Amino acid sequence: MLEYIALRDMPELKEAAADWLHGRWGVPKEAYLECMDAYLSGNTEYGWYFCLDEDMIVGSVGVIENDFHDRKDLSPNICAVYTEEAYRKQGIAGRLLNMAVDDLRSKGISPVYLVTDHIGFYERYGWEFYCMVHCDGEPCMSRMYIRR
């Protein structure tokens, strides 16, 4: 049975979660730990949300200030949206996205943004195309979405 958690509900998952995210995205583990520590200590409400199957992480969504793009005014940003291949097409990413947005909204944080090259996926979960942004180190523009 799948379980959906905010990292604050299971802080002991932090190290394993940072390792797992590093393995999916290649971002240094230390960067994830820094963001997670800020969230766990209450220095930010930008959280981390996971789907677990038993004790195995199978999906994630994070919230950070800026997801490596030139529009620093569009914040906060959803990041690290990932579902393990064997678990895809079960609504995991959508549920995690809604969990993050609802959590932020309950704390007075809205709207929320995300950068993606996908077309059609995020619209299913209430996201709207907002504008094009230039991502750090990328030659072309990416799509910025908003969820109010």
Per-residue pLDDT reduced to its tens digit, 134-144: 888 777 889 99
Which pLDDT belongs to residue 86? Answer: 97
Residue 26: which CATH number?
3.40.630.30
In a domain, 138, yes or no: no
pLDDT in tens, 11-31: 999 999 999 999 999 999 999
Q: Is residue 27 part of a domain?
A: yes
- The string of DSSP codes covering 32-83 is HHHHHHHHHTTS----EEEEEETTEEEEEEEEES--SBS-TTS--EEEEEEE
CA angle 54, 60, 63 (to 5 degrees): 140
User: Would 28 be classed as within a structural domain?
Assistant: yes
Residue 144 belongs to a domain: no
Task: Say which residues have a Cβ less than 8 Å from residue 54's Cβ, sequence separation at least 6.
Answer: none
Residue 122 counted as domain residue: no
Q: Parallel, antiparallel, or unpaired: how do β-strands 112-116 and 141-147 relate?
A: antiparallel
**Residues 99-147: pLDDT tens digits?**
999 999 999 999 999 999 889 999 999 999 999 998 887 778 899 999 9
**Residue 58: CB partners within 8 Å, gap ≥ 6?**
2, 51, 52, 83, 84, 86, 87, 92
Question: What is the number of structural domains in the chain?
Answer: 1
Q: What is the extent of the structural domain holding 89?
A: 2-109
56-89 pLDDT tens trace: 999 999 999 987 888 999 999 999 999 999 999 9
Percent of the chain having pLDDT more than 70? 100
- The torsion angle over the Cα atoms of residues 108, 74, 64 and 92, rounded to 10 degrees, is 80
Cα–Cα dist 82/126, whole Å: 18
